[in-house]
């Protein structure tokens, strides 16, 4: 399937609520699903494991301001955002069950995160919680772009179910990437310093949590201290080095600090419409995810 120019969609997209998608997540999923590589898999697992509690926090943070929204369009977008994030929570809860069955400390991670987010709701203002949510939404959309823009990045994910789950989540993050930001700017009137401070806080907090949790997963897998240190070092290079998988995020991350920034100024991925087309034709998120990955760029993106 080719991408027709008329379908090229980069800046804005309709937010579509899709329910009860079946990714056939069960115990037959491979343990080290990312290139058979323990650290790459456990880093991705560490990101995914935070989604059920994280999505709840996003929903509560945005919903707090719903009564004050005057724009019909923004109200509809908020309703769709909430439903999309709720669906992400449901599917990632299934994925967390799979991780839990491998003996990973998912309960501990979820309880710790839940307590932390509850503390945040009680101790900082609703505006700051919304600013953290908006920052997280930008990071999530850019993260999705990093992993799906080039075909080679996800080439080693052989299992189509996990690939499809991540592709679907990415598509919906692209669709609703501006909702929390719009509420923050137009309804909550969050000052620039808070918006920027929230992004700085979130970036440090999120990266440290991902590596700490990946380390605890590797420990549960039976890797010794020296092996874990070596694997974490490899993970840091893979993720955060100048040629690392997250390097393309740096510029869009920096853009967030421009006072005039808006999430729709950032492009998503060119093959976005392929997922929509295949899903519309088949209703099958696994086929859509595979087609989406197949249509990704084969060459490195220009910087
Ligand atoms: Fe989500
Ligand atoms: Fe989101």
Q: What is the structure's pLDDT at 300?
A: 54
Residue burial 105-114, b: 16+ Cβ < 10 Å; e: rest: bbeebbeebe
Task: List, for the chain, all residue ranges whose pLDDT scores fall below the cut of 50.
Answer: 1-11, 301-303
The Cα 256–Cα 190 span in angstroms is 14
Ligand at minimal distance from the CA of 87 is: 1
CA of 81 to the centre of ligand 1 (A): 9
Q: What is the structure's pLDDT at 2?
A: 38
Q: What are the DSSP calls for 131-186, one per residue?
A: HHHHHHHHHHHHHHHHHHSBGGGGTTB--HHHHHHHHHHHHHHHHTTTHHHHHHHH
Q: What is the structure's pLDDT at 1?
A: 40
Task: Report how far apart, in Å, the C-alpha atoms of 248 and of each of 120, 208, 242, 255 are.
Answer: 30, 19, 9, 12
Determine, yes or no, domain membership for 23: no
The Cα 82–Cα 67 span in angstroms is 14
Ligand at minimal distance from the CA of 134 is: 2
Phi/psi of residue 231, nearest 5 degrees:
-65, -40
Q: Which residues contact 228 (CB under 8 A, 6 or more apart)?
A: 215, 218, 219
Determine, yes or no, domain membership for 139: yes
Which residue from 135, 174, 152 is spatially nearest to 275, judged by alpha carbons? 174
Q: What is the structure's pLDDT at 227?
A: 98
Ligand at minimal distance from the CA of 168 is: 1
- Alpha carbon of residue 96 to chain centroid: 15
Q: What is the structure's pLDDT at 12?
A: 66
Q: What residues flank ion ligand 1 with Cβ within 5 A?
A: 85, 88
Q: What is the structure's pLDDT at 13?
A: 78
For the entire predicted model, the pTM comes to 0.93
Q: What is the structure's pLDDT at 9?
A: 41
CA of 137 to the centre of ligand 2 (A): 5
Number of separate domains in the chain: 1
Q: What is the structure's pLDDT at 4?
A: 37
Ligand at minimal distance from the CA of 138 is: 2
Determine, yes or no, domain membership for 52: yes
Q: Which domain does 127 fall in, by range? A: 31-294
Which residue from 271, 272, 253 is spatially nearest to 263, judged by alpha carbons? 253
Determine, yes or no, domain membership for 19: no
Q: What is the mean pLDDT of the chain?
A: 94
Q: For position 111, which CATH number holds?
A: 1.10.620
DSSP character at residue 65: T
Q: What is the structure's pLDDT at 8?
A: 37
């Amino acid at each position: 399937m080719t991408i027709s120019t008329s379908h090229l969609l980069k800046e804005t997209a309709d937010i579509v609520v899709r329910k009860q998608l079946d990714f056939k997540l069960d115990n037959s999923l491979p343990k080290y699903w990312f290139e058979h590589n323990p650290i790459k898999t456990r880093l991705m697992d560490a990101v995914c494991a935070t989604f059920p509690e994280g999505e709840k926090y996003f929903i509560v943070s945005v919903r707090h301001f719903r009564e004050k929204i005057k724009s019909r369009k923004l109200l509809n977008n908020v309703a769709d955002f909430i439903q999309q994030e709720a669906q992400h929570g449901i599917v990632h809860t299934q994925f967390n069950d799979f991780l839990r069955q491998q003996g990973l400390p998912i309960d501990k991670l979820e309880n710790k995160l839940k307590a932390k987010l509850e503390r945040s709701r009680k101790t900082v203002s609703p505006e700051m919680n919304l600013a953290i949510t908006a920052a997280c939404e930008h990071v999530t959309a850019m993260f999705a772009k990093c992993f799906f823009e080039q075909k080679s990045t996800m080439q080693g994910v052989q299992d189509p179910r996990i690939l499809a789950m991540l592709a679907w989540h990415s598509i919906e993050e692209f669709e609703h990437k501006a909702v929390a930001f719009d509420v923050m700017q137009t309804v909550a009137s969050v000052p620039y310093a808070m918006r920027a401070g929230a992004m700085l806080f979130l970036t440090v907090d999120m990266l440290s949590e991902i590596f700490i949790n990946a380390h605890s997963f590797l420990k549960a897998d039976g890797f010794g201290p020296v092996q874990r240190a070596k694997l974490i070092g490899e993970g840091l290079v893979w993720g955060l080095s100048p040629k690392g998988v997250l390097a393309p995020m740096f510029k869009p991350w920096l853009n967030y600090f421009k006072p005039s920034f808006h999430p729709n100024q950032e492009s998503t991925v060119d093959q976005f419409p392929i997922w929509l087309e295949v899903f519309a034709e088949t209703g099958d998120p696994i086929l859509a995810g595979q087609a989406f990955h197949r249509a990704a760029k084969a060459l490195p993106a220009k910087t």
